[in-house]
Chains A and B, each alone.
Chain A
Amino acid sequence: MYGTRRLKPDSPFPGLFLPISALLIFLALTLSVGVRPAYYAMSAIFFGFSAYTFVAYSRTRSNGLLIVALYQAFAAATAASYPGVLGTRPPQPNAVPAIFVALTLFFGVWMGVLAFGKRLKWRGRDLLELAAQPVDEAAAIGYTDRPRPVGRVDTTERELAAFADFCRRNLIAVPYVEPNRVVLALVIEGQDYGVVLGLHRDYADDTWVAFDREGNVTAHIARRDYLRYRDDLSFDQLCVSLGQVFVDFLGLFAQGNNVRIIDRLNAMPVGIMS
């Protein structure tokens, strides 16, 4: 069941930028310097993508990202082996290791299935949509950069750590573990480079929800994320709602209903690349 769309539509361009760029580079090189260097270039590009995705996997432990990284690695290997085929007279299809092609196709299909199920993207926009569903419009922008105490939950440190790990593996949020609390920072798809490459180490200006040792829940919404909404929503209600979304998720997680968390996020009217 889809909720009401509260966010402004997201441009698909950021998600398509890299594949379109790679294709254009391939075509340009094919026309200018020949097909062999073009394949080598494609191989290098896919290898670069693969390295980046492996880094992303090492930071998140998201199984979906591992599938993507393997697909990209085998695609790089396949592209690198094609010049050998094209260089022979007549072309010898067997010169391309069939295993590379087969694995590329296998992981490509798997990746497509995961992408269609929204398992390969950061869920920042889904969370913002979900938080905004019960929120009323406000007469004026009531934004403030103060965090908002949202409530209290009865949880244990161990449960909280496991929940933070779940959020990280499923690309729901990036956890920052502090001595007194765990902060779960939202990441918007397409703006994850800083997080993945370790350049973005401070969550203070991001949208986040924190659970402290006493179970107090605090929410903070970044101005740039608040401005993603179509309307001026009641900021107070929005902060409470975002905190409540994570409180509900923690409750579902504690009951072992992890799949319901993903279901709720998937129900939001957000594209598979935004």
Chain B
Amino acid sequence: MIWSTSDPETVAQLGSFLAREYARPFLALLATYQDVSASEAASRLGLHIRTAQDFLEGLAVLGIAGKTEVHEGKRPYFRYTLLAESLMLTLDLTSLRVPHSGDALDARVRERLHARADFVAARGDSLIGNVTLWSGNGRERKQHRISLTDPQGRFLFHLPFPDAEPLTIAEIMCKAGLDRDLAPEILDIVTVLAEHEVVEVLPG
């Protein structure tokens, strides 16, 4: 049986299991034995029984291993059997792209008045190199510095000032000489800056 998944959360979960240093000998043990209990695996691999139990339970939850309750004497326990012969992880990175509606580029934007942010212009070029966002007050004050990509820096360089007429994102991209293919990363930085009240977004 080939166990496969393309769900990013499941891929991340299994990835964390496989990254553990005892994962390979543990899977080898499961592949070799017909079934195994947590205490048997722990003693064989030199692990704490709790560690072995968590690993086996994780594989069972994902459906990679099956478990059967066994009654020997007074205490019941589980025996685990490997169900999958191979694992196939597929991660479609394009599915992770932040979605945006077609008219998102028509939203009018400008820098917000008294924005709590420091823009640092890149020396010798017409773009903003990074932006530092401030949040909280007094001792709770925190700063978050975002290094901008070249297109994002060019976009912010042309962002209208707080007292200027707002422009649509598409117009600013045009001024900055940016291709529409770059819209996702532009919209991403606009979203972040809008969340931090650095950019004012007005409906198109």
Contacts and interface: CB of A to CB of B under 8 A. Distances in A.
Interface of A: 138-149, 178-181, 204, 212, 216, 218, 220, 234-237, 239
A178 B118 contact: no
Contacts of A146: 111, 119, 121, 128, 156-157, 159, 161
B119 A239 contact: no
Contact of B161 (A140, A180, A216, A235): A235
- The prevalent SS among residues of A at the interface is loop
Given A138-B163, A235-B161, A236-B160, A144 B119 contact: yes
Contacts of B118: 145
A147 B121 contact: yes
Given A146-B111, A181-B124, 4 more contacts: A142-B161, A180-B124, A212-B126, A220-B121
B118 to A, nearest CB: 7
B126 A149 contact: yes
B125 interface: yes
Contact of B121 (A204, A234, A235, A236): A204
B162 interface: yes
A178 B158 contact: no
Contacts of B11: none
B113 interface: yes
Nearest to A220: B121
Contacts of A145: 118-119
B124 A148 contact: no
B119 A149 contact: no
7 contacts: A146-B111, A146-B128, A146-B156, A146-B161, A148-B161, A181-B124, A234-B163
Contacts of A149: 126, 157-158, 175
Interface residues of B, number: 22
B42 interface: no
A181 B123 CA distance: 10
A-B pairs with the 7 shortest C-beta distances?
A142-B163, A236-B164, A236-B161, A142-B162, A178-B124, A146-B119, A180-B124
B133 to A, nearest CB: 14
A192 to B, nearest CB: 23
A140 B159 contact: no
A6 to B, nearest CB: 16
Pick from B118, B123, B161 the residue with the most CB of A within 10 Å: B161
Interface in B123-150: 123-126, 128
A144 B157 contact: no
Contact of B163 (A147, A178, A236): A236
A178 B147 CA distance: 23
B89 interface: no
A239 B121 contact: no
A223 B124 CA distance: 21
B115 interface: yes
Nearest to A146: B119
Interface string B161-172: 111100000000
